[in-house]
Amino acid sequence: MKTSSRKLDILINNAAVLYRTATHEEQKFTIQTNFLNVVTLTEKLLPLLSDDGKVLMISSGAGQLSWQGETLRKALEDPHLDLQKLNDIAHNFISLTQDFPTNEFMQEPSYAGSKALLNSYVKTVLVSQLKSTQQVYCISPGWCRTDMGTDQGLLSAEEGADTPVYLVELPFERNDEINAKLIHERKVMAF
């Protein structure tokens, strides 16, 4: 492990709120916590990131575009997506998720949508702000047995932590095969 003076070598953002069902206020709180606050903190700390530093965003497989409704998916597939457009999507989230396809795991869209916003931020905005020697990853730890994941989760917390620890321990060299990708169980998965 390397050490730098007065610089951040690794920034790990692990913010998450998940409601099984949610009021509009709880949906707004989820978007604020899981996306807007994470972006604000990252943008403020980015100038302190060492020249070969790493940013790890704890995301979710539920943030994949395939989990989203058509309206949000189309908004996030905009080829001209930038930070302002992502913020606009976040602030208009409720109207953009009326067609969210609920399932037995996700009864409301704010958790999945907030992680889709986070993934889009990483792959379109953050990666373009980083130096060519810096790294960024979105991580899906999987459904873990935690307070948020409940005791029905398929993985232990330790198993969910495997990929973040793996990425932290990788050399401080940018690997474009995995940089700015969504990683689960040490493998790249589709955004």
For the chain, give the DSSP string.
----SSSEEEEEE------SS--HHHHHHHHIIIIIHHHHHHHHHGGGEEEEEEEEEE--GGGSGGGS-HHHHHHHT-TT--HHHHHHHHHTHHHHTTT----SS-SSSHHHHHHHHHHHIIIIIIHHHS-TT-EEEEE---SBSBTTTBTT-SB-HHHHTHHHHHHHHS-SS--TTTTTSEEETTEEE--
How sure is the predictor about 149, in pLDDT bands with cuts at 50, 70 and 90?
low
- For 165-182, the pLDDT digits (tens) are 999 999 999 999 999 999
- For 118-146, the pLDDT digits (tens) are 999 999 999 999 999 999 999 988 665 56
Rounded-to-integer distance, Cα 9 and Cα 190, Å = 27
How sure is the predictor about 159, in pLDDT bands with cuts at 50, 70 and 90?
confident
Determine the pLDDT at residue 143.
Answer: 61
Q: What percent of the chain has pLDDT over 90?
A: 77
Rounded-to-integer distance, Cα 191 and Cα 182, Å = 6
- For 2-22, the pLDDT digits (tens) are 555 679 999 999 988 888 889
Determine the pLDDT at residue 144.
Answer: 53
Q: The whole model's pTM is what?
A: 0.91
- For 70-123, the pLDDT digits (tens) are 999 999 999 999 999 999 999 999 999 999 999 877 789 999 999 999 999 999
Query: Domains along the chain?
Result: 8-189 (3.40.50.720)
Determine the pLDDT at residue 177.
Answer: 94
For 39, the token pair is 């972006």
**Backbone phi, psi, residue 77, to 5°:** -90, 0
